[in-house]
């Protein structure tokens, strides 16, 4: 029997997080877990690829079950294979999902497709018997580097959290090996945020760098006011000041903030990313791009985004994806990105690294595990197995 996908399964699961903050109640968030089941055997076991829809987004079970998974299962199996016929072709699988879809309107659809796409790439690498990061490096003619820079994202607002609790949180990240930490801004007054920033900078001293994230809360006037305040400090970056599609705001902000800025996690296609590069006033020598493949139609689309960046003179090392998950870790290691986000204390069990992986001087080293390596993260794999059983 030729290689084929025999099933695409999805289940919606809650994200475990104790935080209720000024932005969102994480305790009510969900994630779509996807299993792509093939008829291939490796090591006496059926190859199953796993995926989910990154961290910080709700599950898309309806779209996956009713719209995209059926198109894969109804396709001619031969139309989903690569030229050798020995493995799946992720781009052909992606094309089957997007058959007869209209362009534009990038939103929840991109998350649903990205969840399945992650599972497909996991299966492809497992069939090849290689870690995904090494497979990607080989396909792109580059040397894989299993060491990936990671930073610790946190610093959320929540009731009863004072400056001492914020500083203790940031200190805990340093104790776990991180050299860059990130905190939220925009949930209190600008004076209060200045106080919080100065408290954290005093706490971490010369041992780490601080990034700040506004989660798109500001209009232009507020974004500029914060820029004038933030430029008093040597920050790692000023992230997502305004609405992600307000390219004019982002471009205007550069005149008031000479330091590094970061954005892109809420852009969900290579077309939106291209408009950011064309019109957002970003500077290729200092700014950072945070596109998250799992939220933006998956790795197939993310590679189109990377190709666009190269055409516009951007180094892929300016990309540090949002999400803190193992898929982006593999992409960073395989394609030479600048690093990856990490959530040490939230978005579990989806975020984080394989068991036993330690952060050393701001870097983690990926183990040589077939596929994305989910099987080595026991808390995550325990619920992934339920989907495929």
> Is the CB of residue 77 less than 8 Å from the CB of residue 104?
no
Which residue, chain included where needed, has tokens 């989660």?
Answer: 215
Rg (CA), the chain: 21
Q: For helices 299-311 and 326-335, what crossing angle results, to 10°?
A: 40
Cross-strand partners of 32: 12
Helix locations, 132-254, DSSP H:
132-139, 163-175, 190-204, 220-230, 247-253
Residues designated as active site: 184, 322
> Is the CB of residue 294 less than 8 Å from the CB of residue 264?
no
Long-range CB pairs of 245-251 (<8 Å, 24+ gap) are 245/272, 247/275, 247/276, 247/278, 247/279, 247/280, 247/281, 248/279, 249/219, 249/220, 249/223, 250/276, 250/280, 250/281, 250/282, 251/279, 251/280, 251/281
Helix (H) or strand (E) holding 36: strand 30-42
**DSSP 8-state class, residue 286:** T
């Amino acid at each position: 029997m030729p290689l084929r996908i025999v099933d695409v399964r999805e289940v919606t699961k809650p994200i475990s997080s104790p935080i209720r903050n000024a932005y969102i109640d994480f305790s009510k968030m969900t994630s779509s877990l996807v299993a792509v089941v093939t008829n291939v055997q490796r090591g006496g076991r059926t190859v199953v690829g796993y995926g989910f829809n990154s961290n910080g987004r709700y599950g898309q079970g309806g779209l996956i079950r009713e719209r995209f998974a059926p198109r894969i299962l109804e396709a001619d199996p031969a139309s989903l294979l690569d030229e050798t016929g020995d493995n799946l072709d992720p781009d052909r699988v992606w094309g089957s999902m997007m058959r007869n879809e209209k362009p534009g309107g990038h939103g929840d659809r991109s998350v649903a497709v990205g969840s399945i796409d992650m599972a497909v790439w996991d299966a492809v690498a497992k069939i090849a018997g290689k870690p995904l990061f090494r497979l990607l490096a080989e396909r792109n003619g580059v040397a894989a580097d299993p060491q990936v820079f990671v930073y610790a994202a946190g610093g959320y607002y929540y009731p009863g959290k004072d400056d001492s609790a914020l500083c203790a949180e940031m200190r805990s990240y340093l104790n776990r090996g991180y050299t860059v930490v990130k905190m939220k801004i925009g949930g209190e007054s600008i004076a209060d945020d200045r106080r919080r920033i100065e408290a954290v900078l005093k706490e971490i001293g010369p041992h780490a760098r601080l990034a700040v994230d506004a989660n798109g809360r500001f209009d232009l006037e507020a974004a500029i006011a914060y820029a004038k305040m933030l430029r008093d400090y040597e920050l790692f970056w000023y992230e997502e000041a305004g609405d992600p599609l307000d390219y004019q705001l982002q471009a205007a902000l550069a005149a008031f903030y000479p330091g590094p800025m970061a954005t892109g996690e809420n852009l969900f296609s290579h077309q939106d990313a291209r408009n950011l590069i064309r019109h957002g006033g970003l500077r290729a020598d200092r700014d950072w791009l945070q596109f998250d493949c799992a939220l933006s139609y998956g790795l197939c689309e993310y590679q189109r985004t990377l190709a666009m960046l190269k055409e516009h003179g951007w180094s892929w090392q300016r990309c540090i994806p949002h999400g803190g998950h193992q898929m982006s870790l593999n992409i960073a290691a395989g394609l030479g990105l600048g690093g990856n986000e990490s959530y040490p204390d939230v978005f579990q069990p989806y975020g984080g690294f394989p068991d036993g992986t330690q952060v050393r001087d701001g870097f983690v080293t990926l183990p040589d595990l077939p596929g994305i390596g989910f099987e080595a993260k026991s808390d995550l794999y325990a619920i992934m197995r339920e989907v495929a059983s």
